Amino acid sequence: MLVVFITLLYMYTMPNKHYNSKPSVSLRYHLMAKCCLKVGQESESEARHLPTWGCKSMMEGPTIMLGVFITLLYIYTMPNKHYCSKPSSLRIKVAQANKLMMHYGCSVGLKLQMSMEFLIIELGISLQPLQESYARYGKFVTHSWLKTLWEKVDMFDFLIEVNNISLKLPRWGDDWLMRKFWEIGFDEADLVKLNKVRLHQQVVFFSDVMDASGRRLDKKYLEKRPDGEKWSSLTFPTEKPPRAFFSMWKEALLAITTGVRLGEYESEGYKTWDWRFDDNEENSRPKLLHLKGDVMDVYFKSADEQFVHMHNRWTRTRLDEPVEKVGQICSVKLIRDDTMAIVAKADPPPSPSHPSTFLEVLEEWGSEWMWEKLQLQGEDGWLEEAIRDNSLIAATDGSYIKELLPNVNSAAFVLVCSKGRGRLIGAFPEQTMAACAYRGELFGLLAIHLLLLSINKVNPALDGSVHIFSDCLGALGRVENLPPHRIPSRCRHSDILKTIMVNCSSLSFKRYFSHVSPHTMDNATAEEFNKQPLEVRYNSAMDYGAKCELWDLDPDDPPDQQPFPLESICMFVREEKMTSDTASHIRFHAHRELAKDFFDEYKVLDREQFEEVDWDNVHAALELVPRMFQIWACKQVMDIAPTFKNLSKYTTQERWCPSCCRKVEDCAHILECDEEGRVEALMLTIDMLEHSYGW
């Protein structure tokens, strides 16, 4: 069967390759190529209305298989998966993915955002819960909409990257606590029990169970947290683990904290530190502070006769004073009701500094690939001054050359002061299966808005205006009239539009949008060019700059696909970033994963052999061919066509080929038989097809 399939693969994708010396083979290439290219084009509109579960489902989907195969795939594979027990499962997956991409990060998606945050806290493994193994960690979390999505994403080997969660590892050398438990060898059942205790104890990171020094276990975590006490600034789901679970919890904590030394604090962290030691030189006496919400108790060095000669004894002196979060964080132990001893202390992390320039803001956002070619000219602060006196002009243009790079578009942009204070120029390419000139225009507008937002972050009260120009009226109108709460369903290039809507809709200064005529300067002389308004000249220059980005690229080495700055979430399907309507790409690769399992299980192709087949080209060849041709090809590949060999199983029909009478007539032999009559029949069939379709 594999030989037959490879033969068909050559017919569909390589009609001009004569790898066989028999004249009948090249004629068959001719026939198959015409079927694929001519008949397929005529049936394009009809293909859209075929059901998503039958032969054409994967062609429309698109698919990597031939019709009958997907029926077998459904029969043998899907009934064994409770989440794939119906033909609509992939439709559900597509709908879930679109919902996540459209609404996550928007104001209407606040519940989705909260659900993602709770999933991260409840899982306790990483900041990217949808990239973890569902089989290993699925039992850790409560059933939810996101959990069902995670199940499908893990099954089909898709990648979803969440970028707007601000959770950070507090200390150098820190890690997630549940990952520590997994690394020392606890099995799945024990990990579920430990996770329930962890949630009750309000712990996320390894440093949460350590004392202030980062060298010893904080003993309070060995005991059950009293109801009503809050040990973390994060919100945790309610868990009430039985007492029996705490024995394992204590054993696990002692195992992972032996001989450990964590570094300094890199961020503030989320553990609630109730004790601080204030040894400020301005104070006459050092003091120990016990923070209790809005008030605190103050401890001074003990003057009790019992402790007067002990350096590390602190006795409560004042009660319920206004709280002051000063000094070092510390861990203490109880000596008696009003006296404490300091066990460990550490300097808190430095307060984050406010960025002083827009370049620092861009660096803080990450995803700096958009700014690699940024060129800044002018003195410091000219951008703010230009916005303040309404003299800042922004122009952008996008480019797309399908014949050169069909999956790459580019954008170039400029911010310039009309009074000559300075100029900011940049350009970048983007690889995507949704590449087009319109997306390039939108990307230029996105870059301008992100730069304006970074300027606004440095100066939150900045007043004034900026005038934005583009030669794409559709892109300007779409960005200018973005809805306040969410991007409409099935809106193209929603990833760009959502980023602008969520992050750049509330700038402190005004934005004005204007259209300039495209390509007016293509054949202009230098004198004519200089007479044009500033915005027209810069738009023409950006058009050239965007084209240069494409001309300078190596077609064999396109740029990597990456999230852009402030993109809240993105989804990758086999390294392809999803942008808007993801249905076809998701369905194609979901069926590809199911087919890989099926082929491996039934010994058709093992996993390594499966990856050697160019399934993308198989799909491209079979996507638009007629339904009857698909059925014929399916029967050929599966060796279930009504050949004499198959008919002889339930009739008295002879198995031998009636043309050559030398071999059994099966699906492979029909394509290979070189008997003269068979060749004449093939030529007659080709002539009949050409006459029927008017070729």
350/329 Cα distance (integer angstroms) = 13
Strand partners, 413: 396, 426
Cβ atoms within 10 Å, residue 311: 9
Q: What is the pLDDT of residue 580?
A: 66
Above 70 in pLDDT, residue 629? Answer: yes
Q: Can you read off the two tokens belonging to residue 240? A: 């009430």
Above 70 in pLDDT, residue 633? Answer: yes
Please classify residue 252 by burial: count the beta carbons closer than 10 Å to its beta carbon, then call 0-12 exposed, 13-18 middle and 19+ buried: buried
Query: CA nearest 134: which of 442, 123, 145?
Result: 123
Above 60 in pLDDT, residue 51? Answer: no
| Cβ atoms 664, 656 nearer than 8 A | yes
What band does 157 get if pLDDT is binned at 50, 70 and 90? Answer: confident
Which one is predicted more confidently, 109 or 361?
Answer: 361
For the ranges 189-198, 469-478, 518-527, the lowest mean pLDDT is seen at 518-527
Above 80 in pLDDT, residue 209? Answer: yes
What pLDDT digit, counting tens, does each position of 366-396 carry? 889 999 999 999 988 899 999 999 999 999 9
What band does 492 get if pLDDT is binned at 50, 70 and 90? Answer: confident
Above 50 in pLDDT, residue 113? Answer: yes
Strands (E), 401-551: 408-417, 422-431, 465-470, 510-515
6/25 Cα distance (integer angstroms) = 14
Q: Which whole number is the average pLDDT over 667-673?
A: 84
Q: Which whole number is the average pLDDT over 226-251?
A: 92
In CATH terms, the superfamily for domain 358-551 is Ribonuclease H-like superfamily/Ribonuclease H (3.30.420.10)
Domains of the chain, residue spans = 43-164+575-637, 177-257, 275-346, 358-551
What are the strands of the beta sheet with 422-431, ordered from one edge? 375-378, 422-431, 408-417, 392-399, 465-470, 510-515
Q: What is the pLDDT of residue 85?
A: 38
109/115 Cα distance (integer angstroms) = 10
Q: What is the pLDDT of residue 628?
A: 83
Q: What is the pLDDT of residue 192?
A: 94
The mean of the pLDDT values for the chain is 82
Above 60 in pLDDT, residue 653? Answer: yes
598/437 Cα distance (integer angstroms) = 40
What pLDDT digit, counting tens, does each position of 423-462 carry? 999 999 999 988 999 999 999 999 999 999 999 999 999 9
Q: What is the pLDDT of residue 578?
A: 84
What pLDDT digit, counting tens, does each position of 510-530 carry? 999 999 988 776 667 777 777
- Give me the residue label for tokens 């961020």: 267
Rg of the chain in Å (alpha carbons): 34
CA 203 to the chain's CA centroid = 27
Phi and psi for 417 in degrees, rounded to 5? -90, 125
Above 70 in pLDDT, residue 220? Answer: yes
Q: What is the pLDDT of residue 89?
A: 65
| Cβ atoms 396, 411 nearer than 8 A | yes
Q: What is the pLDDT of residue 60?
A: 33
Contacts of 660 (CB under 8 A, 6+ apart): 673, 674, 675, 678
- Give me the residue label for tokens 């460990």: 344
| Cβ atoms 487, 494 nearer than 8 A | yes
171/208 Cα distance (integer angstroms) = 10
What pLDDT digit, counting tens, does each position of 572-595 carry? 988 888 876 667 788 888 888 888
Q: Can you read off the two tokens belonging to residue 659? A: 């043309």
